[in-house]
Amino acid sequence: MSPTLVILLTGSAVAASCALVGSFLVLRRMALLGDAISHAVLPGIVLAFLFTGGRSALPMVLGAGALGLATVFLVELFNRSRRLKEDASIGVVFPALFSFGVLLISRRASQVDLDLDCVLYGEIAYAPWDLLLVGAASLGPKALWVNGATLAVNLLLVILLYKELKVTTFDPELAAALGFAPVLVHYLLMGAVSVTVVGAFESVGAILVVAMLVVPPATAHLLTERLGPMLVLAVALGVASALGGYAVARWLDASIAGAMAAVAGALFVAALVASPRHGLAARALTQHRLRERIAAQILLLHLSGEAPGQVVGRPGVGEGTGPAGTEAGLAEAPRPEAGSAAATRDASGRVPAPGAPPLPAETVRRRFGWSEPRLRRMVGRLARQGLVERRNGHLVLTAAGAAAVEGAGTAQLAHPLAAATPRA
């Protein structure tokens, strides 16, 4: 196997297994517990080193798994004692464990073949040369074996416990009521996170494991609504980050693991901006459109004279003003003269709606608290749609506008919630 292929395969395996368990961390709002575990496994790994005197995989996985679960347990212990909030519990546990690990490495430097820089940001470039030896025979690169195994374990976990993970993630109480043992599922998941982290530790380092655990799943979360597709997408994005990261690293002659995290971040930013449903652009646009529509509806409603509380002056205080508005404020507006219907008919044949008196634009503007450009834009748009006309500084509802309020629009206007719900 060529070194490049080994690196690519190992990186992809790390990314895929992290994405599988990381998706549940993100959905359970426990991303930072993943961060904590990825640091806190260090003493477990070091202790495994010290006890076995070498870097065999099994003791390391066991040691790290134990420390990972201990982290989760300690965080919950502090949390449940109600002396610390959850964020603080995480924030005090993992630095302490990490410090302990660093201390062990420094004190027993001769026995522990771990480089602290490697712990933090990993070195996947060495993966092809660290071989798994059984007796004298080489079975190929160790990192590939280890991460391939964790990927298999995680796949098995997600496939076998898909239903349980899903229910406990979205509704832990329901899950408990249905007999799904959410606590057990929680610790199984955290155990899987710990094991995944150990596997990835040497390849991408503690902090970049967090990138693989959190970033691709969060990106996938922006792109889809459903759990199944999210898992698939997260794995795909993770693998894409690994492959893209390798290319970038080659190009810049820089850290491969760092580049993988950077590419994952770039993919996240792209999704954040451009995701069709949850992207900032789409969101801003829909939001703007819907808000403008609400505002337009209210303007039309007021021009139709149907809006409640159509009062410009102060209403009689202490009177029960029901939904039927008074027309007190409309007296100021010049009403179309009875004989001048022909004069107000314009070229396009639009007729002012009967019973819809013109309102001074300035009155409308002040009442809505809008700026002049804002009103101009809004009226311009409604005029283009033929719903409103501007005449001598007054706004008039056209027949089409009245129909929009009365007819087709009634349902929406009567039920503003229905009108504004984005889902079709």
CB-wise, 350 or 376, nearer to other proteins? Answer: 376
Query: Among 258, 305, 357, 358, which residue interacts with other proteins (rule: CB under 8 A)?
Result: 258
Are residues 216 and 133 in contact, defined by beta-carbon separation less than 8 angstroms?
no
Beta carbon of residue 224, minimum distance to other proteins (angstroms, whole number): 12
| CA nearest neighbour of 168 among 220, 221, 227 | 227
HSE-up of residue 105 (Cα within 13 Å, Cβ side)? 18
CB-wise, 95 or 140, nearer to other proteins? Answer: 95
Question: How many residues can be counted in the chain?
Answer: 424
CB-wise, 182 or 325, nearer to other proteins? Answer: 325
- Parallel, antiparallel or unpaired: strands 137-141 and 388-391: unpaired
- CA–CA distance from 55 to each of 114, 151, 251 (Å)? 10, 20, 32
Are residues 343 and 335 in contact, defined by beta-carbon separation less than 8 angstroms?
no
Beta carbon of residue 320, minimum distance to other proteins (angstroms, whole number): 3
Q: What's the N-to-C CA distance of the chain in angstroms?
A: 53
Q: Does 259 bind other proteins (CB under 8 A)?
A: yes
- Parallel, antiparallel or unpaired: strands 131-134 and 388-391: unpaired
Query: Among 21, 210, 240, 359, which residue interacts with other proteins (rule: CB under 8 A)?
Result: 210
Q: Does 215 bind other proteins (CB under 8 A)?
A: yes
Q: Residue 395 pairs with which residues in a beta bridge?
A: 359, 390
Which residues from 65-84 bind other proteins, rule CB under 8 A? 78, 81, 83-84
Query: Among 134, 226, 319, 342, which residue interacts with other proteins (rule: CB under 8 A)?
Result: 319
Instruction: Give the count of residues interacting with other proteins (CB under 8 A).
Output: 96
Q: Does 142 bind other proteins (CB under 8 A)?
A: no
Beta carbon of residue 158, minimum distance to other proteins (angstroms, whole number): 19
Q: Does 226 bind other proteins (CB under 8 A)?
A: no
Beta carbon of residue 50, minimum distance to other proteins (angstroms, whole number): 15
Which residues from 150-189 bind other proteins, rule CB under 8 A? none
In angstroms, the CA 194 to CA 17 distance is: 12
Segment contacting other proteins by CB under 8 A, of 51-59, 105-113, 146-154, 159-167: 105-113
CB-wise, 172 or 336, nearer to other proteins? Answer: 172
Segment contacting other proteins by CB under 8 A, of 61-69, 150-158, 215-223, 382-390: 215-223
CA 100 to chain centre: 34
Are residues 157 and 144 in contact, defined by beta-carbon separation less than 8 angstroms?
no
Q: Does 116 bind other proteins (CB under 8 A)?
A: yes
CB-wise, 84 or 149, nearer to other proteins? Answer: 84
Which residues from 324-383 bind other proteins, rule CB under 8 A? 367-370
Which residues from 376-415 bind other proteins, rule CB under 8 A? none
Are residues 419 and 293 in contact, defined by beta-carbon separation less than 8 angstroms?
yes
Which residues from 277-316 bind other proteins, rule CB under 8 A? 278-280, 283, 286-287, 290-291, 294-295, 298-299, 301-302, 307-309, 311, 314-315
Q: Does 7 bind other proteins (CB under 8 A)?
A: no
CB-wise, 72 or 90, nearer to other proteins? Answer: 90
In angstroms, the CA 405 to CA 392 distance is: 23
Q: Residue 352 pairs with which residues in a beta bridge?
A: 398
Please give the structure tokens belonging to residue 292: 């403008």
Are residues 350 and 399 in contact, defined by beta-carbon separation less than 8 angstroms?
yes
- CA–CA distance from 346 to each of 236, 343, 385, 389, 399 (Å)? 61, 8, 15, 10, 12
Query: Among 15, 48, 211, 231, which residue interacts with other proteins (rule: CB under 8 A)?
Result: 211
What single DSSP character describes residue 385? Answer: T
CB-wise, 63 or 325, nearer to other proteins? Answer: 325
Which residues from 18-47 bind other proteins, rule CB under 8 A? 26, 29-32, 34-35, 39
- Parallel, antiparallel or unpaired: strands 359-360 and 137-141: unpaired
Q: Does 197 bind other proteins (CB under 8 A)?
A: no
Burial category of 89 from C-beta neighbours within 10 Å (exposed 0-12, middle 13-18, buried 19 and up):
buried
